[in-house]
Amino acid sequence: MKTNGRGYGIALLLIATMAWGALFPIAKNALAIMDGFYLTAFRYGLASVIFAAILWLTEGRKAFRLEGRALSLFIFGSLGFAGFSILVFVGLSRSTSEHGAIIVALMPLITAVLSWVTKGIKLKRATLVCIAGALTGVLLVVTKGNWAALQGGALLPDLMIFLGAVCWLFYTMGAGQFSGWSPLRYTTISCLLGAVTILLVTAVATTSNVIHAPTVSEVLSVKWQIAYLVLIGGVMAVLSWNTAIKLVGAVNGVLFINMVPVTAFAIGIFQGRSFSTIELDGAAITILALIANNLSHREFFRRRADMSGPNMQVIFAALQISLRARNELTAMLQRAQMEKRDITDQEVEDLRIGNDILSEDLISRLRSTPPAG
């Protein structure tokens, strides 16, 4: 049963992350017709109603009580749904879907930095290295290796996407203040209140002539994209993710966030987009850095990372013995072949004596090394 539950959780994680990966090219297509503000309004205006219906059916009327936490829910909902979606969609309208996906995939590392800034949780050396590697990879993707692109406002759209990801992480961290609530309840109430902010901001931007309201024909022309953003990239992906995290744990779940940029790049390739070697290398570096950071938090790898100096010396001594034996045996065979003869017993004995000396040194180190843990 445990194995089946884990397999089910992994399947749900793949569904959620691949759905989010496909969200970027689909949203990019819709943004050619509809402004990011209105696309966000349609997405979360409809999604919040669906979430509310599901919450009502599963937890009942009492789940909608705010319990005196309306302000906190409003702030977190505004950050998570209005801030995240509007910034990401507006940035995506001027960037590429692949850039958006690779930037959003940085969330696990951004979380580590925010935890350090807001909670004083010290960053591990391995995490700092992974952050540096991931940022290098992202810069390679967004600049295509042309560092002059860092000047001026060329990277402003990608920066907006990054800030949107930061907004979502503040929303995610806010969930810790509602530990007694189910994930569905927190998602639904915050989404409903966040939708209010989205509608207000969109109305102000429209009356200020910053954006214009889409026509009925424009809305109908992207109805399938909106349906995907609401039903698949919204409701289904969020519910799949929350269920999967309960089954496999957060550490395992976050590892699957790498499927977001992988899916976005795969769709781009399928659509005939061409990527430079620098872009693909940057994406690979970022994904590897995310994987490495995830692995560094696992007990199996932490035990090995905590190995003491003497233990490492033992390992290097063992490697030295094996490499020396291999090199000397290779040289011995080459000499015998050049001289067209067999290896002599004396040569084999000399090799054995030399390795015995190194082996005795290894054994003495093992005896003098205190046991781990």
**CB 44, CB 191: distance < 8 Å:** yes
The pLDDT score that the predictor gives to residue 300 is 47
Max mean pLDDT range (70-79, 127-136, 282-291) = 70-79
Which ranges in the chain belong to alpha helices (H)? 2-31, 36-59, 70-77, 84-93, 97-104, 107-119, 125-143, 156-174, 183-207, 216-221, 223-227, 237-248, 250-255, 259-270, 277-296, 299-305, 309-338, 345-368
Structural tokens at position 289: 């850095």
Count CA atoms closer than 13 A to 14's CA, side-chain side: 6
Q: Is the pTM of this model over 0.75?
A: no
pLDDT at 90 over 80: yes
Amino acid at 216: V
Tens of pLDDT, residues 32-43? 999 999 999 999
197's tokens: 């902010």
CA 364 to chain centre: 45
Residue 130 identity (one-letter amino acid) = C
CA distances in angstroms from 357 to 34, 317, 326, 353, listed in the order given: 76, 11, 16, 6
pLDDT higher than threshold 60 for residue 296: yes
pLDDT per residue over 189-243, tens digit each?
999 999 999 999 999 999 999 999 999 999 999 999 999 999 998 889 888 887 7
Structure tokens at 23: 């969200």
pLDDT over 50 at 311, yes or no:
no
The confidence band for 59, taking pLDDT boundaries of 50, 70 and 90, is: very high
Q: Averaged over 248-255, what is the pLDDT?
A: 66
Quick one: which of 105, 77, 154, 40 has its CA closest to 285?
Answer: 105
The full length of the chain comes to 373
Shortest CA distance to 191 belongs to which of 330, 84, 51?
51
Do 59 and 185 form a contact (C-beta atoms < 8 A)? Answer: yes
In order of 20, 47, 226, 235, the CA distances from 240 in angstroms are 11, 15, 19, 8
Predicted confidence band of residue 16 (pLDDT cuts 50, 70, 90): confident
Compute CA 131 distance to the chain's CA centroid, rounded to the nearest angstrom. Answer: 12
In this prediction, residues 278-290 reach a mean pLDDT of 77
> What does the mean pLDDT of the chain come to?
77
Average pLDDT of the segment spanning 51-61: 93
Q: What pLDDT score was predicted for residue 325?
A: 55
For 121-170, the pLDDT digits (tens) are: 777 777 777 777 777 777 777 677 666 555 555 678 888 988 988 888 88
57 CB burial (10 A radius; 0-12, 13-18, 19+): exposed
pLDDT of 351 over the 60 cut: no
Residues 6+ apart with CB under 8 A from 149: 142, 143, 155
